[in-house]
Amino acid sequence: MEGKHSVDLASLINQNIDRNRFRTQNWEGSFSEYLDIARENPGVARNAYQRLYDAILAQGYEHYKLFKRDCVRYHFFSDQIDHGADAVFGLDFALMQLVDFLRSAAEGYGTDKRILLLHGPVGSAKSTIARMLKKGIEAYSRTEEGALYSFSWMLDDKCEVGAIEGNPSEAQKAHAFPSPMHQDPMMLVPKEARPDIEHALNETYQPEHHSGKIKIVGELDPFSRKIYDDLMLFYDGDWSKVIQHIRVRRLVLSEKDRVGIGTFQPKDEKNQDSTELTGDINYRKIAIYGSDSDPRAFNFDGELNIANRGICEFIEVLKLDVAFLYDLLGASQEHAIKPKKFAQTHIDEVILGHTNEPEYKRLQSNEMMEAFRDRTIKIDVPYNIRLEDEVRIYRKDFGPERIRNMHIAPHTIAVAAMWAVLTRLTPPKKAGLTLMQKMKLYNGKAIPGFTEDSVKELKEEAPREGMDGISPRYIQDKMSNALVSRQAIEEQMINPFMVLNALESGLDHHSLIDDEELRKQYRELLAVVREEYEDIIKGEVQRAISADEEAIKRLCSNYIENVRAYTQKETVENRYTGKAEEPDERLMRAIEEKIDIPESRKDDFRQEIMNYIGALSLDGKKFEYNTNARLHKALELKLFEDSRDTIKLKNLVSSVVDDETQEKIDIVKQRLIKNFGYNEASATDVLNYVASIFARGDSKSE
């Protein structure tokens, strides 16, 4: 029986299918119709580098400053296609280099004759960047701006030109034989006519993001060349009749269908064969065509063949056998490959490889590979060294939208990211600067005595920063372990200490750390992170205790009244006795000391506050307790100090708590839940832990 609110699933499917878009992406037409399209939109004849560069820029970008350098963040790498599934965080310097490489190639300045090599430590997102480039150009080819075309030969079922007599019948043009390397229909334009066609296209070609020109470069692949030559012979050199056998079609790049996007992965040396790159003989067709050198009896389906017009990725490229690397030399420099028994064949594709440091060092020490090194442009892809960007990596996997059935206590992800970043930083040479402070400076936090120039100097003195350290994969693995631990399942919660314990216990079994000294160093950094976390939660508990808005307003009003009287050398009326008294110096100093205002600077600070209030008044604005950040912090700390004795926070660690104290503690707990993202259990844990710190007498001030 049909339900009251039954849904027609078939109609839901149909609603999401855009038939007009399907027709557009599967357009077919004659060669002359294609020329009309090219005249209207010359960008259809772009080369692979121009197309990939435009695909990146089409998704937009933004400028910002980092380490006193102009930076560009390209939205392409935030993976808008799959809602951030492959988003790359924090590698903007490396990505800027990559896009600059593509820009130079799009302009035709020579980098189009190089292999792009992404080099970096394990887990630094090299594969993710390659995946984004492939995914992005595939999506771009589906848009109107990224449209590109290929062609098929229309012949009889045997692909025979000699069988045509007189005017070819429909049957003799009924079977489509696609260009095996998805070549551009412009390849069919005779060399003599190409300069005129290029000139006509470039007259109207106005690329938005670069100034590269349309160039018709290269020759037909061996299969198409044979058909073309046979037809030219048959029609006595009448090109217009040859072209009647051409059917142009819209080309949509697809990694799954092996159209314009190739991926090659090294295998066992005994199983490696260079035909995987450049194609192999089709032995079944030799019987039909009589020769293994007939291009119709050859499969042009190697990775370099099928990646024509797009991009070819080489996973762990330096693990390839030397014979494969020789193929890449010609593919990059001459844009040509050598299929077995055929002449050099033109290709138009971006060749991208990635490798880890050990393989790259081996390449540098191998004199036999000098030619390969000379044709390579290396881009370093380091680990993140900015905390904010590292946190974003883990929040993608362990954020509340992914982990719904378990509470992740505040700062859990941040402390794991903090430790990861600290392991990647070079100890600062500046006296008095700790590694933790260096990390905070990199993350944009202001530290007295350090300017933007200081941060730039710190960055410049450590050029290899980010090329060593703990991989994000290790953090992800240990966070996953913490999530499925018995304690987490019982409590339905994980907190920073559970994750830090998992990170520490895993160090003994970390496959990439074989140096005991390094393990010791990483454990010491875990202790640094624990100490920083304690300071963070002490600050949160302090703010939760002093979050009584009315109390902080009264304290602020009292302080300002005394400061006004002090600066104007007046008295203050006692609210209880009504008598005039001197300003309360003890109260003012108690607040000012909380933000390290020395006795020698108290007059200056008090005058600054009064000047600030006066300036606000002139602008028609009212001074509030939270208007001045420094004063606000001082008021909070003073109120916390006053409230701490009232609440008797230390009593939390005892088993007996009176009703009045419990009521106040419950209020603080609710503030932690509301303002800082805790739940009942994690708020209780944090209060107990901070209480134990104060019980030990550890009241280190901010």
Q: At which residue do the structure tokens 């029986």 appear?
A: 1
Q: Check if the beta carbon of residue 88 is closer than 8 Å to that of residue 130.
A: no
161 or 559, which is more confident: 559
pLDDT at 336: 94
At 653 the pLDDT is 46
The yes-or-no verdict on residue 176 having pLDDT over 70 is yes
156: exposed, middle or buried (C-beta count within 10 Å: 0-12, 13-18, 19+)? middle
Mean pLDDT lowest among 16-20, 127-131, 285-289: 16-20
Q: Which of 236, 252, 235, 255 is nearest to 244 (CA)?
A: 235
Residue 66 pairs with which residues in a beta bridge? 69
In the predicted structure, residue 20 carries a pLDDT above the cut 70 = yes
Closest CA to 590 of 563, 565, 623: 563
Cα–Cα distances in Å, from 620 out to 471, 476, 613? Answer: 53, 52, 11
Dig out the tokens for 264 from the structure: 């090659």
* Strand segments (E) across 373-513: 376-380, 407-408, 493-494
| Distance separating alpha carbons of residues 88 and 345, to the nearest angstrom | 36
Rounded Cα distance, 133 and 118, in Å: 13
Average pLDDT over residues 468-487: 93
Q: Answer yes or no: is pLDDT of 650 > 60.
A: no
Place of tokens 């206590």: 409
Nearest to 148 by CA among 37, 250, 55, 51: 250
Helices (H), 265-411: 275-278, 283-289, 303-306, 322-333, 357-365, 370-374, 387-398
Strands 69-74 and 61-66: antiparallel
What is the tens place of the pLDDT at every residue in 202-251? 999 999 888 899 999 999 999 999 999 999 998 899 999 999 999 999 99
pLDDT at 634: 83
Domain borders along the chain are 44-140, 148-352+361-377
299 class by beta-carbon count within 10 Å (0-12 exposed, 13-18 middle, 19+ buried): middle
Q: Is 624 helix (H, G, I), strand (E, B) or coil?
A: coil
Q: Count Cα neighbours of 315 within 13 Å in the Cβ-side half-sphere.
A: 12
Q: Are 393 and 89 in contact (CB under 8 A)?
A: yes
Is residue 250 within 8 A of residue 25, CB to CB? The reply is yes
If you ran DSSP here, which 8-state letter would residue 263 be given? Answer: E
Give the alpha-carbon dihedral of 392, 397, 402, 407, to 10 degrees. -80
- Strand segments, DSSP code E, in 156-281 are 175-178, 246-251, 261-264, 280-281
Q: What is the DSSP letter of 690?
A: H
The pLDDT of residue 16 is 67
What is the value of pTM for the model shown? 0.84
Alpha-carbon separation of residue 351 from 146, 260, 307, 332, 521 (angstroms): 19, 12, 9, 7, 40
Structure token pair of residue 149: 């075309």
Phi, psi of 127 (to 5 degrees): -65, -35
The two structure tokens encoding residue 364: 């540098």
d(CA 184, CA 349): 12
Which region among 310-314, 511-515, 594-598 has the lowest average model confidence (pLDDT)?
511-515
Contacts of 128 (CB under 8 A, 6+ apart): 86, 88
Mean pLDDT of 39-68: 93
Is the CB of residue 135 less than 8 Å from the CB of residue 88? no
Confidence of residue 287 (pLDDT cuts 50, 70, 90): confident
Burial of 242 (0-12, 13-18, 19+ CB in 10 A): buried
pLDDT in tens, 30-47: 999 999 999 999 999 999
When pLDDT is averaged across residues 1-5 and rounded to a whole number, the result is: 50
User: How much is the pLDDT for 166?
Assistant: 58
pLDDT band at 380 (very low <50, low <70, confident <90, very high): very high
Asked if pLDDT for residue 162 goes beyond 70, the answer is: no
User: What percent of the chain shows pLDDT beyond 70?
Assistant: 93
- Write the secondary structure of 117-181 as one string of H (helix), E (strand) and C (coil): EEECCCCCCHHHHHHHHHHHHHHHCCCCCCCEEEEEEEECCCCCCCCCCCCCCCHHHCEEEECCC
Q: What order of strands is seen across the sheet that includes strand 28-29?
A: 28-29, 246-251, 148-155, 175-178
